[in-house]
Amino acid sequence: MLVYTIKRFFEMVIVFFLFLVISYLLFNAIPGNAFSSLLLNPLLPPEAYQKTIEAFGLDKPLFERVQLYIINFFKGDFGYSYTYYPRTPIDLIAERLPRTLMLFSIVNVVAFYTGFLVGKILAWRRGSKSETWITIGSVFSYTVFYPWFALMMLWFFGYKMDWFPLGKFLVPEKWYDSPYASDEIFYTLILFTTISSFLLFLVFIFTRNIESLQKRRNARLFGLIILASLATMYWTNGEAALKRFYAADIAYHMILPTFTVTLVAFAGTALLTRTTMMEVLKDDYILTARAKGLSQKRIRDRHAARTALLPVVTSFIFTIITIIDGSVLTESIFSWPGMGQLILEAVVQEDIPLAMATFSFIGILALIAHFIADISYAFLDPRIRIKAEN
């Protein structure tokens, strides 16, 4: 296992360097002088101009420039952003990245879980009326033209019903006399979500091996109640009680984007689970389980769904990258100030240092997701694990 991990890691490092070089060459291929908008930008003082020329080695030959770019990348030095002048690209990314990560990790987890649940039930009820309708619904949400769908959701829930805000990160009026910066509140929110989801995960892991389904459900319910009361205790005491009002504002803005992306993202998982589950249900051991007289629910959840999970996990790994892609659209429609919006803005306004930095960072994000997925897949699939150990 360790050898496999190390091998994959080295391959990833090579792929990563290739990615850096290719992304530099891509920007280098922009016709004319890619940095010429720098000369036309009256906001930039001469020092910034000098600094950019030096940082990117614009007066040097191509090979040295590529080298310089890679070195600068590890130093985290991308010069200045043209549009947000005194700020550097790294500064901007550090501000925006947590917002994207927060939104999309929640969406990912929720979408994967609901998708798996729905797919499982679909395969189990094959041939029934409800199966047909839910499948049609899933195919619709899988192939729906996403920006259009998101705009319609925004119109319906945000404008017509007025239940949710029309995009954006927070309501500025509420923050005029706030003692906290919005990022500070947001980090508290991130910490809270991470810890509570970790505890939730622990509850699920510990109750996994309880044999009786009835008892397991009760144990899980009990765990959930304890977690909920812990959360209420946290938000009503000490400093958190002051932050609560502002945190609620941000959380309120997150609901609609999360809901919309989940509706679109769950369908892929549901459809795939349906297919793999149908294949599994034809296997002999399911027949054996039936012959043994096990309850339907146990066959479905314990025998079939566990086996069907594996291909779904693989495909989920690939969708992580698509979801990073999709963040661009979601963020520009819901005006969520994250990485996706940053790169779109940078490309449209030809802010090249910023575009380069964001593109490289999105690439790294995808790479890390890919790497973790690869390793966990090898860990989950005994065939690969054994092959790697021998």
139 or 213, CB closer to other proteins? 139
152 or 221, CB closer to other proteins? 152
18 or 71, CB closer to other proteins? 18
Please check whether residue 193 is in contact with residue 231, taking contact to mean a CB–CB distance below 8 angstroms.
no
261 or 362, CB closer to other proteins? 362
188 or 276, CB closer to other proteins? 276
Find the shortest distance in angstroms from Cβ 364 to other proteins. 9
157 or 246, CB closer to other proteins? 157
Find the shortest distance in angstroms from Cβ 95 to other proteins. 18
Dihedral sign from CA coordinates of 24, 25, 29, 32: positive
Please check whether residue 212 is in contact with residue 220, taking contact to mean a CB–CB distance below 8 angstroms.
no
Find the shortest distance in angstroms from Cβ 201 to other proteins. 27
DSSP summary character for residue 175: G
Interacting residues with other proteins (CB under 8 A)? 11, 14-15, 18-19, 22, 26-27, 29-31, 34, 139-140, 142-149, 151-152, 155, 159-160, 275, 278-279, 282, 318, 321-322, 324-326, 328-329, 332, 343-344, 347-348, 350, 355, 358-359, 362-363, 366-367, 370
| CA atoms of 82 and 56, how far apart (whole Å) | 14
In DSSP notation, 327-388 reads HHHHHHHTT--SHHHHHHHHHHTT-HHHHHHHHHHHHHHHHHHHHHHHHHHHHH-HHHHHHH
Find the shortest distance in angstroms from Cβ 260 to other proteins. 14
Find the shortest distance in angstroms from Cβ 46 to other proteins. 26
Find the shortest distance in angstroms from Cβ 27 to other proteins. 7
| CA atoms of 377 and 388, how far apart (whole Å) | 12
CA nearest to 27, candidates 369, 348, 353, 285: 353
| CA atoms of 53 and 33, how far apart (whole Å) | 12
In sequence order, which residues have a C-beta less than 8 Å from that of residue 361 and are 6 or more positions away? 93, 97, 339
